[in-house]
Structure 1
């Protein structure tokens, strides 16, 4: 037995051209990540979430993953898990912290409870997010799970640098547009 989560073809095609460039700033990295989040629901290939793994110092793109929960029938196929798993596969290591370059995960919003754990276990040393407030749950109804009240300190304690609020308004707009498009919200608020 096995299970596989794959990127939609549009994402594979877009990645081929994006990998030619470098992305020197957090904003430069968030732009394609947020664009993938938008394209993912516009193509009806998943939810409005995307995450990219980059070399922090060089700006080299390793991979961008998108949310694939509904099309893959896999509740763990969140963007962060997809991106981290693809990066581990591409780089041939389960420990992204062992890679010679410091790796950074860029996500269009704060990771949910499950993905927060995936960030910690992956070995990445830097996390960049579009925001961390309650906007996602308020706008969409997605249940992000119980997040530790001192989640930022827990990242720091484990050697993960956090940058919050990168292109915040652009990221929030993707969630608004997702809802306006009438796409499926899986696992809505249960609490």
Structure 2
């Protein structure tokens, strides 16, 4: 596996979603071996669905492609930003084995907050490995730039303090 290679692809998808659709620039790839088996970007503006985070969209893509709710063993998720609580739960239920993320959520409300519970076995499944900071500086800069532009245009009032 080459998480930096996959992260570069996720980064490009995130930039595209932001520039074309005004979405928060987050993208996720489900990878197994050398194949992308699911992909997603934030689609909350386009879909008007609360749960259309990149990770959920990538899982839905996988579900539709393979007709399964559970990922094959050895499946990894590469995502530009630390997953939120909702997405972390979905990734656990889907049995994703390895998780690679770019930048941390500065609010500290996501995966890293509940990692101790996951490690203690509170949930039925745990990630085999979690790796943060994959192209972390680049991903963080992309988020800061996006929210800086939105603040200047007075958009995303509820998310204005994200980065």
TM-score (norm 1): 0.71
Q: Does 1:68 align with 2:43?
A: yes
Whole-angstrom CA distance in 2 between matches of 1:152 and 1:132:
16
* Counterpart in the other structure of 1:114: 86
The answer for unaligned runs of 5 or more in structure 1 is: 1-23, 138-143
When you count strand as a share of all residues, which structure comes out higher?
Answer: 2
Instruction: Show the 5 A alignment for 1:85-124.
Output: 85-96=60-71, 99=72, 101-124=73-96
Contact 2:41 2:53 in 1 (8 A): yes
State the shift of 1:45 in Å: 5.0
Q: Would the alpha carbon gap of residues 35 and 155 (structure 1) be closer, same or farther in structure 2, given more than 3 Å must change?
A: farther
Whole-angstrom CA distance in 2 between matches of 1:156 and 1:35:
35
Whole-angstrom CA distance in 2 between matches of 1:113 and 1:175:
19
Q: How many residue pairs align between the two structures?
A: 154
Whole-angstrom CA distance in 1 between matches of 2:76 and 2:119:
13
* Counterpart in the other structure of 1:169: 137
Q: Would the alpha carbon gap of residues 121 and 188 (structure 1) be closer, same or farther in structure 2, given more than 3 Å must change?
A: same
State the shift of 1:146 in Å: 6.4
Provide, for residues 49-84 of structure 1, a one-character-per-residue CA deviation record: whole Å limited to 9, x for no partner.
1111001xx221123200001121111001000001
Provide, for residues 85-130 of structure 1, a one-character-per-residue CA deviation record: whole Å limited to 9, x for no partner.
111211110111xx2x511111101111111111111111111111
Contact 1:45 1:68 in 2 (8 A): no
Whole-angstrom CA distance in 2 between matches of 1:77 and 1:86:
12
Instruction: Show the 5 A alignment for 1:5-84.
Output: 24-55=1-32, 58-84=33-59
The answer for unaligned runs of 5 or more in structure 2 is: none
2:104 to 126, 129, 132: 132
Give the secondary-structure state (helix, strand or coil) at the position aligned to 1:123: coil
Runs of 4+ in 1 over 4 A off after TM superposition: 144-148
Contact 1:152 1:162 in 2 (8 A): no
State the shift of 1:148 in Å: 6.8
Contact 2:29 2:37 in 1 (8 A): yes
Give the secondary-structure state (helix, strand or coil) at the position aligned to 1:166: coil
